[in-house]
Amino acid sequence: MSALVAIIAVGAVAFGRTEPNSFLNTNARTVSALVKQVKSDKEVMSRYTRHFGMTEDEVVAFMSTLHMVKTTEDSVYLIYNVPESEEIRARAILYRKGTEMWADQDGNYVLKVSCGNPVLRGTDKSNVAVSAPFNAEMTPGTSMSSVAAETMPVPPTSSTLPVDIESSALPFTAAPPMDITSIASAARFNPGFLLPVAAVPFLVDGGNDPVPEPATMTILAAGGLMIAARKRRKK
């Protein structure tokens, strides 16, 4: 009988614990439970004051205004977590529609209910380690332990938050604008060289009928006149 009681007790404790790397130490599925834990657990309070840059009173007041909602679509979120080192980290993770969140009065998602981890950026934007984006096939209730593995720094540094998830996940460097003057100079002003250069706009979009711009027509005309003049001089 005593063994059965012990097993039940251990199961109850395990059930009350949150996933690894959670801001909360135990599950809190009501606002009152959330506020109570934040007020009574100094470790939990420290995580939120550091993340949001608030005083303890401000954290309690803010948490008191939250309400539970479910996400309306599959989406990628920048979610924060704390390992045993207590260093606040962040990772972009795909969460499925229906994931439970704590939201503020404006409907903005603030914390993931299952772990209490913030999905709202704090004020400590310059000293949070951001991990490489991670696309996890997650369903509501899936444990974060499966996606909270070791992190990899995002080049060039791991200490700068991305402006948005898309730009951090898919870096793109635009090509510099073409300088017709420098191209013509490099070609020793060979007018014949201008013709293929001017034809570049026609080759960019093969799916549509090309429509030359005024500048393109000017280059073509100038190149043709210069070639004709050179031929006349040779005669």
Q: Are 66 and 54 in contact (CB under 8 A)?
A: no
* pLDDT score at 160: 34
For residue 122, is it within any domain?
A: yes
The pLDDT tens digits of the residues spanning 72-128 come to: 999 999 999 999 999 999 999 999 999 999 999 999 999 999 999 999 988 755 444
Quote the DSSP letter at residue 163: S
The yes-or-no verdict on residue 131 having pLDDT over 70 is: no
For residue 207, is it within any domain?
A: no
Confidence of residue 165 (pLDDT cuts 50, 70, 90): very low
2 burial level (CB within 10 Å; 0-12, 13-18, 19+): exposed
What is the extent of the structural domain holding 85?
Answer: 2-169
Co-location of 116 and 193 in the same domain: no
Co-location of 158 and 54 in the same domain: yes
Co-location of 35 and 92 in the same domain: yes
Q: How many domains are contained in the chain? A: 2
Co-location of 68 and 87 in the same domain: yes
The pLDDT tens digits of the residues spanning 173-231 come to: 344 454 545 444 444 445 454 444 444 443 334 444 444 445 545 555 555 556 556 65
Which of residues 171 and 30 earns the better pLDDT score?
A: 30
* pLDDT score at 17: 79
For residue 209, is it within any domain?
A: no
Q: Which has the closest alpha carbon to 145: 58, 55, 20?
A: 20
Token pair belonging to 196: 């293929």
Co-location of 153 and 198 in the same domain: no
**Against a cut of 0.85, is the pTM above it?**
no
Co-location of 41 and 146 in the same domain: yes
The yes-or-no verdict on residue 50 having pLDDT over 70 is: yes
Average of per-residue pLDDT values in the chain: 68
Co-location of 188 and 156 in the same domain: no
Co-location of 79 and 123 in the same domain: yes
